[in-house]
Structure 1
Amino acid sequence: MNKETLVKRLDASARRRKADTIIKNGKIMDVFNQEWIQADIAITDGVIIGLGQYEGEETIDAEGQMIVPGFIDGHVHIESSMVTPIEFAKAVLPHGVTTIITDPHEIANVAGGKGIKFMIEQARKTPLNIHFMLPSSVPAASFERSGAILKAADLKSFYKEEEVLGLAEVMDYVSVGQGEDDMLDKLLDAKLAGKRIDGHLAGLSTDFVNIYRTAFVLNDHEVTTKEEALDRIRRGMYVMLREGSVAKNVLNVLPAVNEKNARRFFFCTDDKHVDDLLEEGSINHQVKIAIKAGLDPFLAYQLGSLNAAECYGLDTKGAIAPGYDADLLFISNIENVSITKTMVKGQTIAEKGRNVYQKEQESITPDQSLLQSVRLAPLNKQDFVIPIDPKKNIRVIRIIPNQLETKLISAPAANSVFQPDINQDLLKIAVVERHKALRETGLGVVQGFGLKDGALATTISHDSHNIIAVGTNDTDIAAAVNQLQEIGGGLTVVKGGKELHSVPLPIAGLLSDQSAEWVNDSLHVLHEQLSLIGFTGDFNPFLTLSFLALPVIPDIKMTTKGLFDVKAFQHISLQ
């Protein structure tokens, strides 16, 4: 900002000139004192320059509605929506999300720095305020078969980008705990650049909370209980209450929030599919859940706005006050979070659930490496045979619906080759390396999907994003994996060796080059096909499947090398 701009704003604030816009007849939420204010909101250059009585070149009549700060999603992976940043913005702006802090580690695990650059460039084409945290763990663990490796030196230049706020979720707790050299460089580079550092403390002990705080880590979004939340708060962390498409932790963690500590909590979605974003929204949904569960509405809206802004040093976001950006929501019902208008920097962006801003023509021109990311030789059913000792029990991954964590159970072996048993719900799971055609496949057994026939497969498998498949027979598993290579990545359902439906995701095997609405419609068709293979669960099987390859969330996961014990942090045998 130059002196001329500041003079203009000061003149408007002092009423020596008209404001650009004034909003009249609204009840303004004061998230600081937690009370309502009756005043005009005066806006110049997209910034609030006064509360009181003002004149403006334009007047907006709020007609008695409540006006609250725009929502902030404190931690989200845009790639999990399966659409580009431009389409993601179109999905969340009508739901009142005006700012997000995103970690592009999904696409970075496939394409490294080229993936990060693509996301930043796309983000600049949307009115949504998109800030970035740089991926700290690419790959998530040293043994992972990701498509890229990002060292501290690879990240350092990105700190020059104004959208970059810091280092994203530090999930390699072994490297942190042992003080491994490159991890120390990543932590110090962020700290010396004056940036924030996000945590990822899934299932870790209090001792590791101490270690993470000593390493400058500021927050954690992997909290699942009241006790974990309070432990992190007393050690100086912020805690995010997460409600995504799989991990739904708000109600479990909410009892930790009280009037004394509420400023240390805020909301995030982490991973949410575009169909869920379009249908129920984002942070607005969490605010509504929290109020319904008994949280004071002022605190709920504060968790949805101001607190995230304070955590990340966004000193012009999260409140309605002079000097803050005019990112505003008009609300007709505070408890139901009924949003009638979304404004970003004083401009009306969405009204009554629809975007109204002038959309730029999207020009997706990703690097070719992003469009040719599925590399593997054709596979057949023999590639998925699992020889076993009939005298030993089999280790089985037991999924927990709507949670990222899993349990390790055992089942007796029936013969010398494992055969899926739909009566016991024991299915085959495979993780196939797809970045460098290494012909490396991890095979295991999983319980909880309830399929009666066919197979599912996807190139979305956190965080290295190899192909992950689950099925009732080897023929369909092989057909599903081959189908993903043919379409360049995505999600597919197969039965009888034939595709029932697929959702192509040609950009890094993670993102569609189509609109959010198109992806939403295709996902609905995909989910309709699930009944044809016997799925009746009350969870999203593709999302659940995609997290079974993440070897930093307990207890037991799958990699291209086989079963992985997260707590012991080592691979283990199938029997």
Structure 2
Amino acid sequence: MKHRINMAAGTEPADILITNARVVDVFSGLVRQDSVAIGDGVFLGFGQREAREVVDAQGAYLLPGFIDAHIHLESSMVTPARFAEMALPHGTTSVVADPHELANVCGTAALRFLLASAQTLPLSIFLALPSCVPATPFEDSGAVLKAEDLAPFMDDPYVASLGEMMNYPGVLSGDPEVLEKLALSRSRRKPVDGHAPALLGRELDAYLCTGIANTHECTTAEEFHQNLMRGCRIFLRDGSAARNLPALAPLVTPGNCHRCAFCCDDRHASELLTAGHMDEVLRKAVALGMDPVTAVRLCTLNAAEAEGLPGKGAIAPGYDADCVLVDDLASFNVRMTFAGGRQIAAEGRMLVLLADPPLNDLTNTVRLAPLPDDVLALPLPSGRARVIRLHPGSLVTDAEEHDVACTNGLFDARQNDGLCKLAVVERHKATGKVGVGILAGYGLRNAAVATSVSHDSHNIVVCGDNDADMLAAVRRVAAMGGGIAVAGEGRILEELPLPVAGLMTHEAPETVVRALDAIHGLLHGHGIPANVAPLMALSFMALPVIPSLKLTARGLFSVADWRFVSVDAAARL
């Protein structure tokens, strides 16, 4: 510390001096020409002084490092090190990661892995401890995380918050397990992230009075204002799955901007490689009319304050020396990224090599019971079936009833135009549970696709028009230790191994993107409509918290009735 004080006072040379920069001051909202000194991993101060290394900014804008206030790293399908290699050149130096997906598969081992990543990577990873593992009691996840499981992690300096409380019915009904987690977070003075789409009025009052601090689920002006007036911080979301920035950015004003931040929630590798990360969010916000310095505040200081990230979000003495040089405040083209006082990336390229901590506890997670050839048989004695109707671009499904053609009393997708067979195979504990149903609107013909990315419990979900290809795809996913497989005519046509929890790979992001492009092209060629995202749509068919009809390994679930129902419309469970 004495060395740091001496460098700041100018009696010893700083490590780095960035000169000729236009410094964006997120405290005052002003931009000034200045020099910034860095030493011992922090900002030391301003003005000319002696330094061991001088970086001439050549008039570029110097901003605090960008912060994603809420993201699921698993959405990129690559490990944290590979994610960091994509995000750092785009100026992201910190993320608040909710490892909800990993934790549903691997439990506390997922938390330990992410905390080890936080200690070794130049990307600052702060954890939002998953609050809903599993998401519902109607699924078969690989783990269950109760308050006592989370408690040992709460005081870790890399733990920022309790992750998004998706179980808002549990909050409103006073579910003891939910309340125990909320009390734990409150006792450790950690914020609680929210997740309660369309909750308004007294229900929102009841939800927020538990101490829930923010939401990234606002999609309308009414939701924005109702949350804001109740003191709930708003994370404006612009990710790969949901893009709410156009609706919300115009609502940010000088009077409320201090209560807003940016997040992606989900970010696919293809977008990280081509469009970027938080730099792309900044570009969009400014293009939508947001004041550039205000946008920078949302992406830096506001995010840090919302999630209680010490030393993050500003260029000021004692703050972590995370900063970004950009060409201007419209394109936000990143020239250089500094993290912890080190130059990490320049002109879109990493300057250091990154490695993940050991992955041993996150592999070999696919455990299937033997699958007999008739395991996917679907008897329909009445010939009338409850069917899940998929809608392009939406996670919400409809519940329909159809008269269907059967062969020997069994549903035969090839005899029913527009209908596919859907199945969910439990893959964590080899229980042998298999749920089978019918999906409309997917369109897949003469093939099957299976994936272990299946929200939120990540069992194997498979869809096709014949049992042989469906089983071949499931068995290939299991043989790879997780991933995605497309089968047709009895052979594997395309695949993407995801051996890390069945969700991610340590391979290069470019490899993932190429494989996904090939899989998507193949599936569209086998009948899936162009306006349906084949894997995204399939991965949410097993999530029984989003209306209206979904399928789990235990069977067909009616979200409206909050119970399991028979596929045979004439039968009752």
TM-score (norm 1): 0.92
Relative distance call for 1:346 and 1:570 in structure 2 (3 A) is same
C-alpha separation between the residues in 2 aligned to 1:238 and 1:397? 35
Relative distance call for 1:273 and 1:13 in structure 2 (3 A) is same
Which among 309, 318, 334 is matched to residue 339 of structure 1? 334
Q: Tell me the residue number matched to 2:391.
A: 399
Letter in 1 for 2:102: I
Contact between 2:370 and 2:432, CA under 8 Å: does it hold in 1?
no
Letter in 1 for 2:81: I
Q: Tell me the residue number matched to 1:117.
A: 112
Contact between 2:384 and 2:404, CA under 8 Å: does it hold in 1?
no
Q: Tell me the residue number matched to 2:63.
A: 68
How far 1:470 moved relative to its partner?
2.1
SS in 1 for 2:360: coil
Q: Tell me the residue number matched to 1:470.
A: 463
C-alpha separation between the residues in 1 aligned to 2:215 and 2:171? 15
How far 1:71 moved relative to its partner?
0.9
Q: Tell me the residue number matched to 1:322.
A: 317
Letter in 2 for 1:288: R
Which among 394, 404, 407 is matched to residue 414 of structure 1? 404
Letter in 2 for 1:441: V
Does residue 29 of structure 1 match 2:24? Answer: yes
Letter in 2 for 1:29: V
Q: How does 1:262-277 map to 2 (within 5 A)?
A: 262-277=257-272
Does residue 230 of structure 1 match 2:222? Answer: no
Relative distance call for 1:238 and 1:553 in structure 2 (3 A) is farther
Letter in 2 for 1:113: T
Which among 223, 241, 244 is matched to residue 246 of structure 1? 241
Contact between 1:378 and 1:482, CA under 8 Å: does it hold in 2?
no
Contact between 1:86 and 1:125, CA under 8 Å: does it hold in 2?
no
Letter in 1 for 2:378: I
Contact between 2:122 and 2:339, CA under 8 Å: does it hold in 1?
yes
Give CA-to-partner distance per residue, 1:165-203, whole Å, 9 cap, x none: 221111122322222222222111111111111111134
Letter in 1 for 2:358: I
Q: How does 1:38-437 map to 2 (within 5 A)?
A: 38-357=33-352, 359-360=353-354, 362=356, 364-367=358-361, 370-379=362-371, 382-388=374-380, 392=384, 394-401=386-393, 403=394, 405-416=395-406, 417-420=410-413, 425-437=418-430
Contact between 1:398 and 1:409, CA under 8 Å: does it hold in 2?
no
Contact between 1:320 and 1:326, CA under 8 Å: does it hold in 2?
yes
Contact between 1:297 and 1:335, CA under 8 Å: does it hold in 2?
yes
How far 1:375 moved relative to its partner?
1.4
Give CA-to-partner distance per residue, 1:291-349, whole Å, 9 cap, x none: 22222222222222221111011242112222322211111132122111111122111
Q: Tell me the residue number matched to 1:550.
A: 543
Give CA-to-partner distance per residue, 1:79-138, whole Å, 9 cap, x none: 222222111111211111100011112111112112221222233221100111111111
Letter in 1 for 2:27: F
C-alpha separation between the residues in 1 aligned to 2:501 and 2:137? 21
C-alpha separation between the residues in 2 aligned to 1:203 and 1:408? 19
C-alpha separation between the residues in 2 aligned to 1:414 and 1:84? 44
How far 1:546 moved relative to its partner?
1.4
C-alpha separation between the residues in 1 aligned to 2:465 and 2:12? 72
Contact between 2:378 and 2:411, CA under 8 Å: does it hold in 1?
yes
C-alpha separation between the residues in 1 aligned to 2:274 and 2:446? 29
Contact between 2:385 and 2:404, CA under 8 Å: does it hold in 1?
no
Identical columns (%) = 40
C-alpha separation between the residues in 2 aligned to 1:223 and 1:13? 43
SS in 2 for 1:508: coil
Q: Tell me the residue number matched to 1:479.
A: 472
Q: Provide structure 2 residue ranges, at least 5 long, that are not aligned to the other structure.
A: none
How far 1:522 moved relative to its partner?
2.9
C-alpha separation between the residues in 1 aligned to 2:403 and 2:283? 48
C-alpha separation between the residues in 2 aligned to 1:570 and 1:303? 41
Q: Tell me the residue number matched to 1:520.
A: 513
SS in 1 for 2:541: helix
How far 1:380 moved relative to its partner?
5.3
C-alpha separation between the residues in 1 aligned to 2:384 and 2:415? 20
C-alpha separation between the residues in 1 aligned to 2:50 and 2:349? 29
Letter in 2 for 1:453: N
Q: Provide structure 1 residue ranges, at least 5 long, that are not aligned to the other structure.
A: none
SS in 1 for 2:368: coil
Relative distance call for 1:421 and 1:227 in structure 2 (3 A) is farther
Does residue 18 of structure 1 match 2:40? Answer: no
Relative distance call for 1:383 and 1:290 in structure 2 (3 A) is same
Relative distance call for 1:564 and 1:256 in structure 2 (3 A) is farther
C-alpha separation between the residues in 2 aligned to 1:296 and 1:380? 61
What RMSD over aligned residues (CA atoms) do the two structures have, in Å?
Answer: 2.3
How far 1:538 moved relative to its partner?
4.4
C-alpha separation between the residues in 2 aligned to 1:531 and 1:142? 34
Once the two structures are overlaid, the 10-residue window that deviates more, 233-242 or 267-276, is: 267-276
C-alpha separation between the residues in 1 aligned to 2:551 and 2:134? 15
Letter in 1 for 2:100: H
C-alpha separation between the residues in 1 aligned to 2:40 and 2:389? 55
Contact between 2:198 and 2:223, CA under 8 Å: does it hold in 1?
no
Relative distance call for 1:72 and 1:362 in structure 2 (3 A) is closer
How far 1:513 moved relative to its partner?
3.4
Q: Tell me the residue number matched to 1:529.
A: 522
How far 1:19 moved relative to its partner?
2.3
C-alpha separation between the residues in 2 aligned to 1:9 and 1:317? 18
Contact between 2:324 and 2:338, CA under 8 Å: does it hold in 1?
yes
Give CA-to-partner distance per residue, 1:374-433, whole Å, 9 cap, x none: 1113435632233336575634232341x4x31314253133544447996433322211
Once the two structures are overlaid, the 10-residue window that deviates more, 206-215 or 460-469, is: 206-215
Q: Tell me the residue number matched to 1:494.
A: 487
Letter in 2 for 1:75: H
Relative distance call for 1:207 and 1:424 in structure 2 (3 A) is farther
